[in-house]
Amino acid sequence: MKISYYNGEFKRDNEISVDYNDRAFYFGDGVYEVVRVYDNEFFTLEEHMDRLVRSASEIEINGLEREKLIEIITQLKERNSIENGSIYIQVSRGIDPRNHAYPAGAEPVILAYMNAMVRPSLQMEEGVEIITANDYRWLKCHVKSLNLLANVMEKERAVRAGAHETVLHRDGVVTEGSSTNVFIVSDGVLRTHPANHLILNGITRQEVLKIAQEREIEYQEKAFTLDELKSAEEVFITSTTQEVTPVSHVDGQKVADGSKGKITQVIQEGFDQKIHKLNLVK
């Protein structure tokens, strides 16, 4: 039986009961992170915890102790016999009877659990299909908030279309996927939307840009259009769970010849090396 954490206690999953007055339950009033574990070791833990604290601060949940968060998920990893997986951690504003205004004196509530997870090797080799849709989300997408209804609906749109992901755009300018960041290669230059309030600055996104710099791949944090997406030489999506996944089709149209591109391959190799250098995968 897995061990999880809720509101100050480690318990077996079947022993955990979530308080219905937890504001995460009825308002989605909180933030979260997902951290990968490879061969029983964290990958980019510090970056995820920095973003969790920053997201909490953005929605005025203050006073989180970063080291306490790290201690919780470290203990969680040690209490579960899962060598390759992911840890989900969320922070809600607290427990209080339902009222839109912030509750006075409520303490943040932390929930964390761990699941087994394998690398998406087949998708990373063969690529995936994506569709596109209008981005109607709120204007604080840089906050990794629990408010994911629009993202959920757009992911379902992809599933119903037989695709892997929905990539969003505002007035024809591509922002990000429902659960991913998006990159293209155009005229040999790697491009992705700048890290502003319209996208989540993904941790894997940041790693990709580091790899591009290390490998001397020209890149730009510059927005691109739907037309540029569909005419790109290469397209790939990134996230903590999907790593670096090439895109073979956009709205049913092949990306180049539909196979993984050279720059995508180089980025994947660089990402693998970052994992191996930390002895996270044997």
- Tokens 């049913």 locate to 252
The Cα 178–Cα 151 span in angstroms is 5
Measured CA angle at 244 (ends 170, 228), to 5 deg: 35
Two tokens, residue 282: 């044997």
Q: What residues does 221 pair with on adjacent strands?
A: 192
Q: What is the DSSP pairing of strand 128-134 with strand 243-250?
A: parallel
Annotated catalytic residue within 2, 68, 144, 277? 144
| Tokens of residue 269, six digits | 């190799």
Nearest to 53 by CA among 33, 71, 24: 33
- Measured CA angle at 263 (ends 259, 267), to 5 deg: 110
Residue 124: which of 222, 241, 11, 268 has the closest Cα? 268
Tokens 């206690």 correspond to: 9
Sorted by sequence, the CB contacts under 8 Å of residue 282 that are 6+ apart come out as 39
Is 144 part of the annotated catalytic residue set?
Answer: yes
Give the active site residues: 144
